[in-house]
A and B are shown apart, each in its own frame.
Chain A
Amino acid sequence: MAGLEDLYREIILDHYRAPRNRGELPVPPARRAEGFNPLCGDEVVLYLDVDDSGVITDVKVSGQGCSISQASSSMMTAAIKGKTEAEARDLIRAFKALMSIHESTLEGGEADVDESALEGVRLGDLEALKGVVKFPVRIKCATLAWNTLAEGLDAPADS
């Protein structure tokens, strides 16, 4: 049985209590994407400023939700700010690989982990969210911000 301390690591609680990059950006030029977790009502609204060379120069996030979804989105903004879109996509793939084995198992599917997605990507503080996989229903809380980021990156620049 996994203990609560596995889920609520200190760095996660820190991001929850003092979330980074909270707020909004003017749209346009920023891109905007929304994500919802219908299970618990978590909501993430993401704003991305991407310059002509594909660098994410600024990122803000608003919305509400549980400690895991809010900490995950805070940690995500810290991780992608200043990165290129390509680097951000690598992070999405790596983070989802970290979560995916348990997510797909929960939904009755085959575990399909892209191990290669984890190679050469530094997850840093995001590793703290690894404990979430022991609490399968909370994985969606952790991946919400990342799915929203993927949508934001795919969105046309004037959205």
Chain B
Amino acid sequence: MLDVDRIRKDFPFTEREVNGTRVVFLDSAASSQKPTVVLDAMDSLYRTHYANVHRGVYSLSEESTTAYEGARRRIATFIGATSHRELIFVRNATEAINLVAHSWARANLQPGDAIVLTHMEHHANVVPWQILAAERDIEIRWVPLTPEFELDLTDLDTLLRDAKLFSFTAMSNVLGTINDVPALVAAGHAAGARVLVDACQSVPHLPTDVTAWGADFVAFSAHKMLGPTGIGGLWAPEALLDAMPPFMGGGDMISDVRVDGFVPNELPWKFEAGTPAFVEGVGWGAAVDYLDALGMANVRAHEQELTAYGIATLTDRLGDRIRIFGPTDPAKRGGAISFELESVHPHDVAQVLDEAAVCVRAGHHCAKPLMRLLGVSATARASSYIYNDEADFDALAAALVRAHDFFFGL
């Protein structure tokens, strides 16, 4: 288990107050806070080792390049990749999925082909495929949900029949639902489809082994796992990446350019055009070192225990005035708890909570198809991470009671 009091000392945001109260940060599913080691790693690179990477033969450039490529290797190891060549740095998980849609899908999908998504996808794993579908006349099929907010796999084999791609989230950013990735990958492959896993929510919170998953593509982001914004990752096996056409063209992604054409660079740089976010890459490397030191199994155990406490506390304090959207069994879900407070719009909930310095997300969480399915326009969502403890959920519950009283106690 985690020593949250000690962890909190590593995070400068814990000293921040809003309205004279310590900040209760429960929006890590949107983006996590950053520990000092991540900020220091980036600061140190900027101050003392900074020069563009992959360019100069002088010391500073070598130092930057070593720090950046060293981070890539550690992040690759962190997710269970067998080689750093399998890890493409992109801007975020959204760009990772768009890279697959532009490069692999445009080279491999024909009019009439089908893509299978699920009803719990983030817009990042919906809209790139809708753009492609409109362009190429491609069919999109949807795996429905059960009343328990899990994937309804009853007709999965039918949905996957002749599909070219199965793309799904490992953990829902709204419901918290954890999907059985290896089983879904196996089902997709059995049907002859390529499989993309949107692991943006799961990598920060669960031990990850992309090699054991056996998927074709895995997308994830740094900023939800203690790292900086502006960098994310696409993992794919080397043979698949080798066979794909480049995504964006420019510097760094070539090994030769002549007036009559170019030769792409080797992996992973083939997909990394232009000066990359290498300072952010180094920050991300420090973030995975920090998580490694805690141990991802401990991170998961902490979160499971805290989520159980959070759900129990909210239910206890608010009774039937609160409705939680997501599995009730903490073993089947992550730390994102979406809820509706009876007759109070989520946006108003978040506003009243802000007075108590409780930060929750209110809105559609970039999952409007799911919102429509749930019959709501928006939900409020409290999501925890390694720096949260029981007191944070006590503060949330107290603030929700106050919000309800504010609108109905007048």
Bound-state CA distance A109–B368 (Å) is 30
The closest CB in chain B to the CB of A5 belongs to B406
Give the contacts of A1-38 with B (CB-CB under 8 A): 1, 3-4, 7-8, 10, 13
Q: In the complex, which residues of chain A have a beta carbon less than 8 angstroms from the beta carbon of B406? A: 4, 8
Chain A residue, CB-CB nearest to B366: A38
A18 to B: closest C-beta gap in Å: 13
A64 proximal to B (CB < 8 A): yes
A42 touches B19 (CB 8 A): no
Q: Are B410 and A41 in contact (CB under 8 A)?
A: no
Minimal beta-carbon separation of A146 from chain B (angstroms)? 18
Indicate whether B262 reaches chain A with its CB closer than 8 angstroms: no
Q: Complex formed: what's the CA distance from A10 to B368 in Å?
A: 32
Please judge, given known A-B contacts A65-B345, A66-B345, whether A41 and B19 are in contact too, CB under 8 Å. no
Q: Give the residue among A7, A39, A66 with the most B Cβ atoms within 10 A.
A: A66
Q: Given known contacts A4-B352, A64-B377, A65-B377, is B407 in contact with A40 (CB within 8 Å)?
A: no
Q: How far is A10 from B348 in the complex, measured between Cα atoms in Å? A: 15
Tell me, yes or no, whether A84 is within 8 Å of chain B by CB. no
In the complex, A63 Cα to B343 Cα: how many Å?
15
Q: A71 CB to closest chain B CB, in angstroms?
A: 11
Q: Report chain B residues within 8 Å CB of A85.
A: none
List residues of chain A with CB within 8 A of the CB of B377.
Answer: 40-43, 64-65
Q: Which one, A10, A64, A70, contacts B410 given CB within 8 A?
A: A10
Shortest beta-carbon distance from B12 to chain A in Å: 23
> What chain A residues lie within 8 Å of B345 (beta carbons)?
65-67, 70
Interchain CA distance A1-B17 in the complex, whole Å: 13
Whether a CB of chain A sits under 8 angstroms from the CB of B189 is no
Q: Are A40 and B351 in contact (CB under 8 A)?
A: no
Tell me the A40-62 residues at the B interface (CB within 8 Å): 40-43
Q: Which residues of B contact A10 (CB under 8 A)?
A: 410
Q: Is the CB of A7 within 8 A of B19?
A: no
Shortest Cβ distance from B399 into chain A, in angstroms? 12
**Chain B residues, CB < 8 A from A135:** 351
Chain B 348-392 interface mask (CB, 8 Å, partner A; 1/0): 100110010000001110001001000001100000000000000
Chain B residues whose C-beta falls within 8 Å of the C-beta of A64 in the assembled complex: 377
B347 at the binding interface (Cβ < 8 Å)? yes
Neighbouring A residues of B363 by C-beta, 8 Å: 39-41
Q: How many chain A residues touch the partner (CB < 8 A)?
A: 21
> A4–B351 contact, CB under 8 A?
yes
Is B407 a contact of A13 with CB atoms below 8 Å?
yes
Residue of B nearest to A138 (CB): B351
B246 proximal to A (CB < 8 A): no
13 additional contacts (CB under 8 A) given A65-B347, A66-B345: A3-B355, A4-B351, A4-B352, A7-B351, A8-B406, A8-B407, A40-B346, A40-B377, A41-B364, A43-B377, A67-B407, A68-B347, A70-B345
> Size of chain B's interface in residues, with CB distance under 8 A?
18
- Of chain B, the residue at the smallest CB distance from A70 is B345
Q: A8: shortest Cβ distance to chain B, in Å?
A: 7
Nearest A residue to B410, CB-CB = A13
Contact with B362, one of A7, A40, A70 (Cβ below 8 angstroms): A40
Contacts of A43 in B (CB 8 A): 377
> Would A4 and B355 count as touching, CB distance under 8 A?
yes
Please name the residue on chain B nearest to A64 by beta carbon.
Answer: B377
Any B CB within 8 A of the CB of A94:
no
By the criterion CB–CB under 8 Å, are A66 and B19 in contact?
A: no
Residues of B within 8 A of A1 (CB): 19
Query: What is the CA–CA distance of A4 and B409 in the complex, to the nearest angstrom?
Result: 14
CA distance A66 to B352 in the complex (A): 12
CA distance A86 to B116 in the complex (A): 51
- Cβ contact within 8 Å between A40 and B410: no
Give Cα A138–Cα B407 distance, bound, in whole angstroms.
17
Judge whether A98 is part of the interface by a CB distance below 8 angstroms. no
Closest B residue by C-beta to A67: B348
User: Bound complex: CA of A39 vs CA of B362, how far in Å?
Assistant: 9
Q: For the complex, is A75 an interface residue (Cβ under 8 Å from B)?
A: no
A-side contacts of B346, CB under 8 Å: 40, 66
| A residues near B364, Cβ cutoff 8 Å | 40-41
Q: Which residues of A contact B362 (CB under 8 A)?
A: 40
| Distance, CA A43 to CA B376, complexed state (A) | 11
> A141 in the interface, Cβ–Cβ < 8 Å?
yes
- B347 with A40: CB separation less than 8 A: yes
CA distance A4 to B399 in the complex (A): 13
CB within 8 Å of A: which B254-268 residues: none
Contacts of A68 in B (CB 8 A): 347-348
Contact A66 B347 (CB under 8 A): yes
- 6 A-B pairs (CB sep. < 8 Å): A13-B407, A39-B363, A40-B364, A67-B407, A68-B348, A138-B351
Are A66's CB and B410's CB within 8 A? Answer: no
With both chains docked as a complex, state the minimum distance between the C-beta of B102 and any C-beta of chain A, in angstroms.
24
CB-defined contacts of A65 to chain B, threshold 8 Å: 345, 347, 377
Most chain B Cβ neighbours within 10 Å, of A41, A42, A68: A41
Residue of B nearest to A135 (CB): B351
